[in-house]
Amino acid sequence: MTRSGIGYDAHRLVAGRALILGGVQIPHSLGLDGHSDADVLCHAIADALLGAIGENDIGHHFPNTDEGIRGISSLAILARVRQILVEKEARVVNVDATLIAEAPKIGPHLPAMRAAISSALQLPVDRISIKATTNEGLGTIGRSEGMAAMAVASVEQN
């Protein structure tokens, strides 16, 4: 059976943190605030995959009350989500994600982001699509106060 899931995540931009998107550190004056590395792109993908198999979201599996995972790489989160899929006799078919941010420019980093996500999910890179758009100056994202990401994933499950 083929199943689909959708994921969304948003984090506030703050000083003093590295900006990690799609598992890649991107030069920028601000980073995303969160319990983990706050990678909105990987978080949205993780939630899409978990949703496709009817699982709870990443907040359930990786709670921000667990100090043992503070600062965890979101690529590690994706790898664990992939393992949850394997345990549920499911496999990722493809992922389509969109990052929403005013800055920095994401295009130059897309190949590295796709490669990092491909490795974490053990999925061919041509089955991962990542796009970027702005919020045209509207709202908190448009004012560069944060970033968000949306993702859709398809999964085959026995």
Query: What is the Cα–Cα distance from 110 to 144, expressed in whole angstroms?
Result: 20
Q: What single-letter DSSP state applies at residue 83? A: H
Taking each helix axis from N to C end, the angle separating 110-121 and 40-52, rounded to the nearest 10 degrees, works out to 40
Helix, strand or coil for residue 35?
coil
Q: What is the pTM of this model?
A: 0.96
Fill in the amino acid letter for 99. Answer: L
Share of the chain above pLDDT 70, in %: 100
Query: What is the Cα–Cα distance from 62 to 65, expressed in whole angstroms?
Result: 9
> Could you tell me if 96 and 152 are in contact, meaning their C-beta atoms sit under 8 angstroms apart?
yes
Domain residue ranges in the chain: 2-157
- The predicted-structure confidence for 26-83, as pLDDT tens digits, reads as follows 999 999 999 999 999 999 999 999 999 999 999 999 988 988 889 899 999 999 999 9
The answer regarding whether domain 2-157 maps to CATH 3.30.1330.50 reads yes
